[in-house]
Structure 1
């Protein structure tokens, strides 16, 4: 299974569609700030949440399960992710999620904190504090392991982000 995780597309629907077509994921998670009409989002299996710039009626946060992995999805602004990742980690633990997907900061993050993988795909349109726009792809490997890869909007690998992570408390490999 291939899961595309994307955030902060800020009205760039054509780019969002291009990335979805290129990645050909089994599921897409959009962490908010799509800033288009919901009808303009790709017609793929999709979990989408509302960002601070969105006006469409979509959930503020969501839970999604795949291959024994529980994902907590939110935009991040309600958890003050620009200041600390601790509140979002605590929320993921409260809802029993192994992966917390969020956006808002426009900065790509992939780090394990205890048994929670904190994953911000960055922004596909306007990075902040990072040199290029990014999105992420997560692939379950079995036995609690996942691999996370980051890419720029043209599909080129971003090698200083991502890695292999054990969601059951084992050692991660960067």
Structure 2
């Protein structure tokens, strides 16, 4: 692992290992979040996701072996994206709900296709992809997280994934810039 990837792993580990960042919570569950692999699963992304308890793939998977490789690290919840056709589209739903540590994560590929009010529905996190642009913001006590793209580089956008940290006290996340 390169020193840049070591720094990524240490940064993600510090975020989730320090309960004080999550209001003194004793239990922190680390969830890897990846999107828009488009058939390319970079070794740097696999390195960044090591040690997570669960992985979310927010669509545009590209090839079935992507989920298989991620499953070797942790259980995977995946949704299909707009480029996913045929078998991949039939294997993975349009959206998914993931309950973790008393919190609920809503996953879909295209945020504009969100048809519910996440806060009113009791979701603490909405994970999405599609734009290839990493983003993280809170609206009405809901964390909206786009991990960006961990697949082929698009224009001058960074290659990224994310780690979502969930505890009984709250949720937090960090975008991880991959050294590619």
Distance 2:76 2:144 in 1: 20
Query: Structure 1 length normalisation: TM-score?
Result: 0.72
Q: For the pair shown, which has the larger CA radius of gyration, 1 or 2?
A: 2
Which one of the candidate residues 17, 25, 31 is aligned to 1:3? 31
1:22-171 aligned within 5 A = 22-23=48-49, 24-37=51-64, 40-43=68-71, 44-55=74-85, 56=88, 57=90, 58-76=92-110, 79-80=111-112, 88=114, 90-93=116-119, 95-126=121-152, 131-144=157-170, 146-154=171-179
For these two proteins, the number of residue pairs brought into alignment is 144
Gap regions ≥5 residues in structure 2: 1-28
Scaled by the length of structure 2, the TM-score of the pair is 0.70
Which structure shows the bigger proportion of residues in helix conformation? Answer: 2
Query: Which string of whole-angstrom CA distances, capped at 9 and with x for unpartnered residues, describes residues 42-94 of structure 1?
Result: 22311000100112121110000111110000001xx42xxxxxx63844235
- Using CA pairs under 8 Å that are at least 6 residues apart, name the structure with larger relative contact order, 1 or 2: 2
Q: By how many angstroms is 1:152 displaced?
A: 2.0
Are the aligned partners of 2:119 and 2:140 in contact in 1 as well (CA < 8 Å)?
no
Q: Name the CA shift for 1:129/1:100 in 2 (closer, same or farther; >3 Å).
A: farther
SS of equivalent residue, structure 2 residue 118: helix
Question: Structure 1 unaligned runs (5+)?
Answer: 81-86, 156-174
- How far apart in 1 are the matches of 2:97 and 2:164? 16
Partner-residue secondary structure (3-state), 1:97: coil
